[in-house]
Amino acid sequence: MKKNFASLALLTAAVVTLVGCVTDYQPTEKDGKIKIDILIDGRDTVYFKDKTIWIQHDAYDHPGKWAGQDLPVYINKDQKWFLEWNGNLTRQGVIENGVGIPRSGTWTEDNFFVNFGTDGFGTFNVKEYPSERNDYTLKIEFDDVEPSPWAASWAA
């Protein structure tokens, strides 16, 4: 991947909205939210467990790296989390304001809502919803790979 401004995606408003276990429930402003703003160049997986967050770097440049600088991740707009790397894993950060990921219940795409926005390009994919099986850990993969024109023509 070329390292230039056009190839970087600023993933913003990755909002995890926690709602009740009833599938017909409509989220409101009173529901819990976690908002993260993070600079991604490549593919990375973000983990949330209760009130902790950490990142596994998968491809290209580490999150927060830009022009020789280490940029922080912003949690709920005003909390700065400076990433400390041990290989391809960050040290865990603590979500100071707001709610954590539920530690009980049954969660699926029908009752656990994740919203995503970007100032560039890229995709996100919820790899795992919180469950007893994964010790109630939410796992989201971010990927800023720009779609290739030839790939789009094959999909048509």
Half-sphere exposure of 47 (CA within 13 A, CB side): 15
What gap in Å lies between CA 115 and CA 120, rounded to an integer?
16
Listed in sequence order, the residues at least 6 apart from 30 whose beta carbon sits closer than 8 Å to its beta carbon are none
Strand, helix or coil for residue 4: coil
Separation between Cα atoms, residue 93 and residue 55, nearest integer Å? 9
pLDDT tens-place values along the chain, 156 residues long = 433 222 222 222 333 433 333 333 344 444 567 888 888 888 999 999 999 999 999 988 888 888 888 889 888 888 999 999 999 999 999 998 877 888 888 888 888 888 777 777 778 889 999 999 999 999 999 887 765 555 444 443
Domain boundaries, the chain: 5-155
